[in-house]
Each structure stands twice: as structure tokens, then as C-alpha cells.
Amino acid sequence: MTTFSVAIDGPAGAGKSTIAKMVSRRLNFIYVDTGAMYRAFGLYCVDNNIPLDEERIKNIVDDVIITIEYFDNEQQVLLNGKNVTVFIRSSEASSMASAVSVFKCVRLKLIELQRKLASQTNVVMDGRDIGTFVLPHANLKIYLNASIEIRASRRCKELHEKGIETDVASIKEEIIERDGRDMNREFAPLRKADNAIELDTSNMSISQVTEEIVRLFEEKVK
Ligand code: DC
């Protein structure tokens, strides 16, 4: 079966998930949030006091079963059968996701799940290495970016809406640290794919970015 895919990568807070969700609705594709998978893996490590040590992580990697389901078109992440979707958005889970994502054994496990989803259905997939590693033949690759100030304030607002209170300065610090780790890890780091189109969303509305990506996709597959 031939499937279509749109890969959306970029640093934290660039608007990937909001935009990817909107684009998936417009194209009638499934939205796959790969960050949620790393967050669920991180949550397992926090809940089970697993130290951030590659050998220890290798030993437990097969104990972590992550599955994706969709209720009302919203992605749900199940960790060993338990729906953890609402628990993975805290600052602690964000940092933990970034920390466990440096390990090759974790990435290979989650990449297999991501590629399987994309082989079964048309997807808009967001993450850090989708265009460069997970789906190198994606029909369209987008690298979303925005200034650090904008990204921090967007993330702060998003957390506030979820009932998590924090301040822009600490979110900014957390984002800088996380981006540094995501860009500098050895295996499948965050970077713009050579054939990705970069969009700076600092001064663009959600609908402008969505329309531009839909237009680019239609142009590509024509
Ligand atoms: O997109 P997000 O903020 O939910 O991602 C959380 C962390 O997971 C991010 O800091 C790095 C990691 N991640 C990754 O390494 N590769 C992906 N494809 C998606 C996320």
C-alpha cells in the first residue's frame, strides 16, 4: 500500500503539534505525535526509578510497551496498557523525555513503531528526526522554527491552559537546555533535513502556517 506522509520537525515550542494537528485535519491524515512516545518512556523511568544509564535502560527497554490509539481523533499514549496521555506534559516529563531520547536503544524501539504507523496509513508526523531519519522519503518535510522568546511564551501558555503554572523565564531555560541536548546527541539529532522547507512561525498565525503547509503538500504530490 502506498501511503503519504508529511514530516514536521523543529525545536521545542515551535508549534509543531498544533500545526501538525491542523494539517492532519485538512488533509484527512492521522496525526502522530512522536514526542509523546519519548515522554511516555521517560515517565516509565521516573515511575520506576530507572537511572539514566545506557546499560540499565538497555535492560528494561523490552519491559516498556508503548502503544498509540485514537479516541475522537485525538492521539492517546498507552504505557504498558495504561493511558498516560494526561501525565506526560509536565516539565519533569519533558526533561526526562529529552534525557532518555539520547539512548539509541530507546530511539530504535520507538522509531520502529513510528515507521509501522506510517506504513499503514497517511500521516502527519512531528518530532525531531522525522525528516532526517524516521521517514527519509516523506512527501513533504517541514522544519518549523520561531524565536526563543516566542517559543517560551507559547509553551508557557499551553501549560497554563492545561492547569500547569510556570513562568516564561524558567521555561526559556528548560527549552534551551532541551534543544541543546536534542541537537547535540550522537544518534539521530535534531537538525533540518537537506530537503526540508524551513518556516519561521514567529510572526505567522496558526492558520497561515497550516495553509502554507497544505499548499506545499498539494504542490509536491501533484
Ligand atoms: O515534541 P516534544 O516536546 O513532546 O518532545 C519531547 C522530547 O522528546 C524532546 O525534547 C526530544 C524527544 N524527541 C525526540 O528525541 N525525537 C522525536 N522524534 C520526538 C521527541
Q: CB within 8 A of 95, min separation 6: which ones?
A: 42, 174, 177, 178
Distance 98 CA to ligand 1 centre (A): 6
Q: Has residue 72 got a pLDDT over 90? A: no
Determine whether the shortest distance from the Cβ of 98 to ligand 1 is under 6 A: yes
Distance 73 CA to ligand 1 centre (A): 21
Determine whether the shortest distance from the Cβ of 132 to ligand 1 is under 6 A: no
Give the mutation target among 8, 17, 31, 34 for probing the ligand 1 site: most ligand atoms within 8 A of CB.
Answer: 34
Determine whether the shortest distance from the Cβ of 85 to ligand 1 is under 6 A: no
Domains in the chain: ranges and CATH: 5-221 (3.40.50.300)
The per-residue pLDDT for 90 is: 82
CA 103/CA 99 separation, integer angstroms: 8
Q: Has residue 159 got a pLDDT over 90? A: no
Distance 96 CA to ligand 1 centre (A): 10
The per-residue pLDDT for 217 is: 98
Ligand 1: residue whose CA is nearest its atom 14: 128
The per-residue pLDDT for 130 is: 98
Determine whether the shortest distance from the Cβ of 182 to ligand 1 is under 6 A: yes
Q: CB within 8 A of 11, min separation 6: which ones?
A: 145, 151, 175, 179, 182, 183, 190
Q: Has residue 221 got a pLDDT over 90? A: yes
Query: Residue 176: exposed, middle, or buried by beta-carbon count in 10 A (0-12, 13-18, 19+)?
Result: middle
For 12-39, write each residue's pLDDT tens digit.
Answer: 999 999 999 999 999 999 999 999 999 9
Q: What are phi and psi of 7, to 5 degrees?
A: -100, 130
The per-residue pLDDT for 95 is: 86
For 73-100, write each residue's pLDDT tens digit.
Answer: 899 999 999 999 999 988 788 888 999 9
Determine whether the shortest distance from the Cβ of 11 to ligand 1 is under 6 A: no
